[in-house]
């Protein structure tokens, strides 16, 4: 039982020291703020919001054949790179990302 009481005393003493250090830090920061600038800065005046019209968005017509042709071209390029007689992955060729240009 004596060990539990000593453990609680150490824990409470540690918490007391931490909180005392935090309070001391707050006091020092307020002193520095008071010595450096005096009064707090005034807020900048708020600008009136300007109404902005929404820009028209250009909609591109999706060509269903373009996606199929793109997939076929990429598949053919990957198959060509991997079919050079080396096992898969040994050529060092890795497809990391496919993005539309």
**pLDDT at 21 exceeding the cut of 60:** yes
Tens-place pLDDT, residues 42-82 = 677 777 877 777 777 766 656 655 677 777 888 887 777 77
Could you tell me the residue ranges of all domains in the chain?
1-39, 66-101
Mean pLDDT of the chain: 78
User: How far is residue 33's CA from residue 35's CA, in Å, rounded to a whole number?
Assistant: 6
- Report the predicted TM-score, pTM, of the whole model to 2 decimal places: 0.35
User: How far is residue 86's CA from residue 80's CA, in Å, rounded to a whole number?
Assistant: 11
User: How far is residue 43's CA from residue 14's CA, in Å, rounded to a whole number?
Assistant: 40
- What pLDDT shows up at residue 66? 60
């Amino acid at each position: 039982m004596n060990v539990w009481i000593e453990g609680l005393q150490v824990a409470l003493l540690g918490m007391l020291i931490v909180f005392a250090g935090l309070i001391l830090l707050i006091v020092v920061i307020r002193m520095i703020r008071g010595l450096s600038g005096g009064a707090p800065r005034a807020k900048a005046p708020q600008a009136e919001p300007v109404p902005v019209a929404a820009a028209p968005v250009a909609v591109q017509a999706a060509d269903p054949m373009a996606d199929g042709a793109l997939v076929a071209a990429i598949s053919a390029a990957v198959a060509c790179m991997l079919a050079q007689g080396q096992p898969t992955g040994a050529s060092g060729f890795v497809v990391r990302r496919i993005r539309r240009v």
